[in-house]
């Protein structure tokens, strides 16, 4: 079972990448790949830019990674109460080549931020958007106050209740792909 995890962030120190990596490791019997959006950097999408450079192979590589996965774990960072430009940009480019970018692959959608709302605005924005573009969202999880609830040195959620909540979500995760 192939699991692809990534953060909706291009920060090199991304806390969402840390959360996505931790969550990915909780899936049993999964062959996990952690993708970094820095490897999928493209100019800011516009129809004019698209006319100029065509359909970039990097966008194809992005949706092909998703196509090859049986499970997706995505943790979206929040910028100004929405998804980051970095995530939206590769998503926009990919959607011009393949409309259902997220390929109906069973998806655990998460978010975290240093704030008490845990990036839930971005999570909600992603929920609304991704489910129209093949996002088969089977479960969501938001980790509030990352710095208080995640032990970076140990690479795990330090708050026992929140950790138990995520573990229960993953234990009960339905990864059967609808046809
Ligand atoms: C431009 C900008 C806007 C931000 N807006 C929000 C916000 O609306 N809500 C929030 O909880 N955090 C916000 N933050 C803080 C981010 O949640 C924080 O930088 C976090 O580390 C981003 O996740 P990442 O490390 O995975 O990139 C913002 C940060 C930046 C740089």
Domain ranges of the chain: 2-171
**Residue of 7, 20, 76, 77 to test ligand 1 pocket, by largest number of atoms within 8 Å of CB:** 77
pLDDT at residue number 13? 97
Confidence label for 178 from pLDDT (cuts 50, 70 and 90): low
Average pLDDT of the residues in 1-13 = 98
Condensed to tens digits (0 to 9), the pLDDT of residues 57-106 reads: 999 999 999 999 999 999 999 999 999 999 999 999 999 999 999 999 99
Condensed to tens digits (0 to 9), the pLDDT of residues 116-170 reads: 999 999 999 999 999 999 999 999 999 999 999 999 999 999 999 999 999 999 9
**Residue of 119, 123, 145 to test ligand 1 pocket, by largest number of atoms within 8 Å of CB:** 119
> Alpha helix (H) ranges present in 30-145?
47-53, 57-68, 85-95, 120-130
Is the pLDDT confidence value at 2 over 90? yes
Backbone angles phi and psi of 178, in degrees to 5: -70, 150
pLDDT at residue number 176? 86
| CATH match of 2-171 with 3.40.50.360 | yes
Classify residue 133 as exposed, middle or buried by CB count within 10 Å of its CB (0-12, 13-18, 19+). middle
* Nearest CA owner, ligand 1 atom 19: 113
What pTM was estimated for this model as a whole? Answer: 0.98
Distance of CA 103 to the CA centre of its chain: 14
């Amino acid at each position: 079972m192939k699991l692809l995890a990534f953060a909706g962030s291009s920060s090199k120190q991304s806390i969402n990448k840390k959360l996505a990596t931790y969550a990915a490791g909780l899936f049993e019997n999964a062959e996990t790949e952690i993708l970094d959006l820095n490897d999928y950097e493209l100019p800011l999408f516009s129809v004019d830019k698209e006319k100029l450079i065509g359909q970039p192979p990097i966008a194809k590589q992005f949706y092909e990674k998703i196509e090859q996965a049986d499970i997706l774990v995505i943790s979206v960072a929040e910028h100004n109460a929405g998804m980051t430009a970095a995530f939206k940009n590769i998503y926009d480019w990919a959607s011009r080549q393949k409309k259902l970018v997220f390929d109906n692959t069973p998806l655990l959608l998460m978010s975290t931020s240093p704030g008490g709302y845990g990036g839930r605005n971005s999570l909600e924005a992603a929920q609304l958007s991704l489910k129209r573009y093949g996002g088969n969202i089977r479960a969501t999880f938001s980790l509030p106050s990352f710095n208080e609830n995640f032990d970076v040195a140990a690479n795990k959620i330090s708050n026992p209740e929140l950790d138990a909540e995520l573990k229960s979500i993953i234990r009960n995760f339905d990864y059967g792909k609808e046809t």
